[in-house]
Amino acid sequence: MSILEVSNLSLSFGGVKALQDVSFRVPENTVTTIIGPNGAGKTSLFNCISGFYKPQQGTIRYEGRELSSGIKPPKRAALGLARTFQNIALFRGMTVLDNIKLGAHVHMKSGLLGSMFYFGAVRREEMEVRREVEHRIIDFLEIDHIRRQSVASLSYGLQKRVELARALAMRPKVLMLDEPVAGMNREEKEDMARFILDIREEWGVTVLMVEHDMGMVMDISDHIAVLNFGQVITEGEPADVQNNPEVIKAYLGNSDIDSLRKKLNPEGEAA
């Protein structure tokens, strides 16, 4: 069953066609990856799904209901669509802990008046969130040593991890990750890959990601959709996608398929 289904989506900015008739599906409880060369429209697609862009045509169905353009980003967040950004979008003036707590915003109720007194229900709710964040997220992502630090002082890899933590605090059903391992070293990448797999298995969350690191994509994805010039070339399991001549051409624009197939398949290269 598909938790998210994109059908015939088209988006253009003036004369630039960012997405043309894009259709693909995200099966429930999988790691689904969208790959494609730079400028293929991957981030535009993410922005359509999270509600920042309004596609001119097509539909996005989430859990069987259509996400019309009237459903704004905050509402989509409340429905269980969480995401991280390609360029880290944390709140730099706050501590790690406060950033993560903000993820739980939609699940909290405290209003302005109650907050002023910090009493009874407001206090209990704050403590519940703190406990949940500590037990489920900070322990899980191994960031307990930095919880009091300001986000601006952290390394790039840790900032990415905090952004993931914030998205998890939203208790998502679908977690959208825009280039989760870009700019990371090998060790950080391995950690992130492990977290993504654990999120799917232990939390039962469907992961939809955009990523360029082919090694990781092929290793952890269950389902892959390939985008080029705003169009879906193919979708399927990693092995099928890897050997698809169209994909190889899109990436490398060359007809010498055998040598390029090796580049797309790092394991084959190692063997």
Provide, rounded to whole angstroms, the least separation between the CB of residue 75 and another protein: 8
Q: What are the residues whose beta carbons fall under 8 Å from the beta carbon of 196, sequence distance 6 or more?
A: 31, 177, 180, 207, 209, 220
Among residues 28, 63, 126, 219, which is the contact residue for another protein, using CB under 8 A? 126
Site for another protein in 48-67 (CB under 8 A): 50, 52
Torsion of CA 113, 114, 118, 124, to 10 degrees: -160
The binder of another protein chosen from 6, 62, 101, 177 (CB under 8 A): 101
Nearest alpha-carbon partner for 10 in 46, 57, 52: 57
Q: Which two tokens stand for residue 142?
A: 């191994």
Residue matched to tokens 């990523």: 211
Shortest distance (Å) from residue 117 CB to another protein = 7
How many amino acids of this chain bind another protein (CB under 8 A)?
40
Q: Is 69 one of the binding residues for another protein (CB under 8 A)?
A: no
What angle, 0 to 180 degrees and rounded to 10, lies between the N-to-C axes of helices 156-168 and 96-103? Answer: 30
3-state secondary structure of 123: helix
Identified binder of another protein from the candidate list 11, 42, 83, 161, rule CB under 8 A: 83
Using CB under 8 A, pick the residue from 65, 66, 78, 194 that binds another protein: 78
Contact flags string 170-189 toward another protein, x per CB under 8 A: x-------------------
Query: Three-state DSSP class for 243?
Result: coil
> Is residue 156 part of the contact set for another protein (CB under 8 A)?
no
Grouping H, G, I as helix, E, B as strand and the rest as coil, residue 30 is coil
Contacts with another protein by CB under 8 A lie at 50, 52, 72-75, 77-78, 82-83, 85, 89-94, 98, 101-103, 105-106, 108, 110-112, 115-118, 122, 125-127, 130-131, 134, 166, 170
